Amino acid sequence: MERESARALSPEVIMNLTTRSTENLPTLSQVFVHSMEGKTAIVTGGATGLGYCVVNRLAEAGARVVIASRSKEKGEKAEREFREKGYQVCFCQTDVSKVEDCYQAVEFAEKQYGQVDILVANAATWSMYSYLDMPEEEFDRILNTDLKGEYFMGQAAARSMVRKKIPGKIIFISSVARKGSDAAGVAMMTHYNAAKGAVSSMTIGVAKELKQYGINVNCVAPGGMLSLGSITNTAKLGELYGQEVLAERAKYSEGTPLAMNPDVVALVVFGMCTSMSDFMFGETVDVNGGALLSWQKQPWTYTMEGGKPGATD
């Protein structure tokens, strides 16, 4: 045994192990370009914003994608636009706040394409209310979509994967708001903070249960993005609290990173759908442009030309 252990640790064995670690690997093209071919994905909230960009990337890579969206008009428009690109997509009208709709979306995907390999549980909404003003119906509306919707959409997809023995991928979508970063200087998103924080915690628990079935569960937490929702929800805030709060929000949000195209986040979500995430379980990946960092505003170096000079006596 000692001789075998010594031989196992010999330089020759170690060198061979190093060499073998790069042999017979899938190419990067296979991982990121062709890995979706023959797979079926469901993207909730896939008709606009981040979801639309995720659908675009998955379909571009060859996946068959079900766009699950509450809006019939927006869903049919998205389906039409993607089909004009030659992508395999279908729209399924889905309100994820209703558990039966979550299961119907999975059944629809199975009927259309045979199975579900990937779920991106992206559908969400948000609003802004003072904690002291929060109506119960508004709290319920946000939690039912952003937390309950992801929970049961994940359950429906997972049951399909287990039944068909699919080693699938489930990606939940949280938010930088899970760490308390919401509207700088204004806040007023306690219900959204609660929902998105819970999604990250939920991811850990679901991942622990589903790993035994070969299902890989992780989460992506975006920061601010320029989207239809960000425009319309801000307008609603002004209706409730007047123009002063909009001015306050604009003043304090100047330094907050904003993704001008949600595709920068969608690329990370896409990566999590590939074998890139095979050794990740229950993780939440933050993609927020450094929203929680205190950025240095100017260079301070006395050794580099162009930097601030050092102290002088």
Q: What is the full per-residue pLDDT of the chain (313 aa) written as tens digits? A: 445 555 556 777 777 888 888 899 999 999 998 889 999 999 999 999 999 999 999 999 999 999 999 999 999 999 999 999 999 999 999 999 999 999 999 999 999 999 999 999 999 998 989 999 999 999 999 999 999 999 999 999 999 999 999 999 999 999 998 987 676 666 788 999 999 999 999 999 999 999 999 999 999 999 888 877 766 767 777 788 878 777 777 766 677 778 889 999 999 999 999 999 999 999 999 999 888 888 887 777 777 777 766 655 4
**Is 192 noted as a catalytic residue in this protein?**
yes
Which amino acid is residue 244, in one-letter code? Answer: E
Residue 66 phi/psi, 5-degree rounding, is -95, 120
The catalytic position among 151, 192, 213, 241 is: 192
Query: What per-residue confidence (pLDDT) applies to 240?
Result: 81
Query: What per-residue confidence (pLDDT) applies to 158?
Result: 98
289: left (phi over 0), alpha (psi -120 to 50) or beta: left
pTM of this structure: 0.89
Q: Specify the residue for token string 């109506």.
A: 135
Sequence-separated (6 or more) residues with CB below 8 Å from residue 187: none
